Amino acid sequence: MASSGLAYPDRFYAAAAYAGFGAGGATSSAAISRFQNDVALLLYGLHQQATVGPCNVPKPRAWNPVEQSKWTSWHGLGSMPSAEAMRLFVKILEEEDPGWYSRVPEFNPEPVVDIQMHKPKDEPQSVPASTNGTSIPEPKIISENGSSVETQDKDVILEGLSTVSSHDEWTPLSVSGLRPKPRYEHGATVLQNKMYIFGGNHNGRYLSDLQALDLKSLTWSKVDAKLQAESADSTKTTQIAPCAGHSLISWGNKFLSIAGHTKDPSEGITVKEFDPHTCTWSIVKTYGKPPVSRGGQTVTLVGTTLVLFGGEDAKRCLLNDLHILDLETMTWDDVDAIGTPPSPRSDHAAACHADRYLLIFGGGSHATCFNDLHVLDLQTMEWSRPKQQGLTPSPRAGHAGATVGENWYIVGGGNNKSGVSETLVLNMSTLTWSVVSTVEGRVPLASEGMTLVHSNYIGYDYLISFGGYNGRYSNEVYTLKLSLKSDSQSTVKEETVSDTTSRVIEPEAEISQDGKIREIAMDSADSDLNNRNDEASEQLIADLKAQKEELEATLSREQLQTVQLKEDIAQAETRNAELTKELQAVRGQLASEQSRCFKLEVDVAELRQKLQSMDALEKEVELLRRQKAASEQAALDAKQRQSSGGMWGLVLGPFVFLGGREAPGRPGVRGGHQVRAERGDAGLPRGDRRPGPPGDGDVVQEPAYPRPVRVHRRGGGRRQGQERERRRRQQGAGRRRRRWRVLQAGLQHRLQGGDAAVALLAQVRRQAVPRRRLRSARYSDEPEPLSDYYVAVVSDDEVVLLLGNLKKEAFRRTGSRPSLRDAVLVCKKEHVFSKKRFLTKARFDDRGKLHDISIECSSSNLSGAGVGVDVDMVIKIDGSVNVLVRHLQWKFRGNECISLDHLKVQVYWDAHDWLFGTEMRNALFIFKPEPLPSTAAADLHTDEYSDFCLFLYAWKLE
What is residue 923's predicted lDDT score, i.e. its pLDDT? 92
3-state DSSP helix/strand/coil % of the chain, to nearest 5: 25, 30, 45
Within-domain flag for 502? no
Compute the distance between CA of residue 704 and CA of residue 511 in angstroms, rounded to an integer: 166
Asked whether the predicted pLDDT for residue 600 surpasses 70, the reply is yes
Assess whether 790 and 917 both reside in one domain.
no
Higher pLDDT, 417 or 734: 417
Assess whether 811 and 845 both reside in one domain.
no
Q: What is the mean pLDDT of residues 495-506?
A: 31
Assess whether 852 and 796 both reside in one domain.
no
What is residue 65's predicted lDDT score, i.e. its pLDDT? 77
Helix axes 37-51, 65-75, angle to 10 degrees: 60
Percent of the chain with pLDDT strictly greater than 70: 71
Higher pLDDT, 410 or 848: 410
Percent of the chain with pLDDT strictly greater than 90: 36
Asked whether the predicted pLDDT for residue 771 surpasses 80, the reply is no
Beta bridge partner(s), residue 26: none
Assess whether 464 and 397 both reside in one domain.
yes
What is residue 574's predicted lDDT score, i.e. its pLDDT? 92
Asked whether the predicted pLDDT for residue 688 surpasses 80, the reply is no
What is residue 869's predicted lDDT score, i.e. its pLDDT? 67
Rounded to the nearest angstrom, the gap between the alpha carbon of residue 249 and the centroid of all alpha carbons in its chain is 27
Helix axes 37-51, 10-19, angle to 10 degrees: 140
Q: Which amino acid is at 223?
A: V
Within-domain flag for 123? no
What is residue 932's predicted lDDT score, i.e. its pLDDT? 62
The CATH number of residue 857's host domain is: 2.40.128.180
Q: Which of 26-40, 390-404, 898-912 has the highest mean pLDDT?
A: 390-404
Q: What is the mean pLDDT of residues 179-193?
A: 95
Q: Which amino acid is at 553?
A: A
- 837-842/851-857 β-pairing: antiparallel
Residue among 182, 178, 292, 274 nearest 228 (CA):
274
What is residue 235's predicted lDDT score, i.e. its pLDDT? 53
287-313, pLDDT tens digit by residue?
999 999 999 999 999 999 999 999 999
Assess whether 326 and 434 both reside in one domain.
yes
- 798-804/817-818 β-pairing: parallel
Q: Which of 148-152, 827-831, 917-921 has the highest mean pLDDT?
A: 827-831
Asked whether the predicted pLDDT for residue 351 surpasses 90, the reply is yes
Final residue before a domain boundary, out of 798, 823, 848 = 823
743-767, pLDDT tens digit by residue?
555 555 444 443 333 333 333 334 4
Lowest mean pLDDT among 268-277, 435-444, 558-567, 730-739: 730-739
Higher pLDDT, 913 or 63: 913
Contact by Cβ (8 Å): 917, 879: no
What is residue 480's predicted lDDT score, i.e. its pLDDT? 94
Asked whether the predicted pLDDT for residue 820 surpasses 80, the reply is no
What is residue 940's predicted lDDT score, i.e. its pLDDT? 46
Assess whether 796 and 912 both reside in one domain.
no
Q: What is the mean pLDDT of residues 605-618?
A: 85
Assess whether 375 and 438 both reside in one domain.
yes
Lowest mean pLDDT among 342-356, 427-441, 535-549: 535-549
Within-domain flag for 906? yes
Compute the distance between CA of residue 567 and CA of residue 574 in angstroms, rounded to an integer: 11
> Helices (H), strands (E): how many in the chain?
11, 46
Q: What is the mean pLDDT of residues 196-212?
A: 95
Within-domain flag for 85? yes
641-679, pLDDT tens digit by residue?
765 544 434 333 333 333 333 334 444 433 333 333 333
Within-domain flag for 812? yes
What is residue 7's predicted lDDT score, i.e. its pLDDT? 75
Final residue before a domain boundary, out of 81, 103, 125 = 103
The CATH number of residue 63's host domain is: 1.20.80.10
pLDDT band at 487 (very low <50, low <70, confident <90, very high): very low
Assess whether 810 and 894 both reside in one domain.
no
Question: Domain limits at 380?
Answer: 182-230+239-481
> What is the overall mean pLDDT for the chain?
76
What is residue 33's predicted lDDT score, i.e. its pLDDT? 61
Compute the distance between CA of residue 496 and CA of residue 243 in angstroms, rounded to an integer: 59
Assess whether 902 and 854 both reside in one domain.
yes
Higher pLDDT, 740 or 795: 795
Assess whether 314 and 269 both reside in one domain.
yes
Asked whether the predicted pLDDT for residue 511 surpasses 50, the reply is no
What is residue 677's predicted lDDT score, i.e. its pLDDT? 34
Final residue before a domain boundary, out of 103, 123, 138 = 103
Within-domain flag for 548? no
Asked whether the predicted pLDDT for residue 145 surpasses 90, the reply is no
Within-domain flag for 905? yes
Assess whether 272 and 326 both reside in one domain.
yes
Phi, psi of 293 (to 5 degrees): -60, 140
Assess whether 310 and 339 both reside in one domain.
yes
Asked whether the predicted pLDDT for residue 873 surpasses 80, the reply is yes
What spatial distance separates the first Cα and last Cα of the chain, rounded to whole Å? 116
457-483, pLDDT tens digit by residue?
888 899 999 999 998 999 999 999 998
What is the number of structural domains in the chain? 4
What is residue 545's predicted lDDT score, i.e. its pLDDT? 86
DSSP class of 23:
G
Within-domain flag for 463? yes
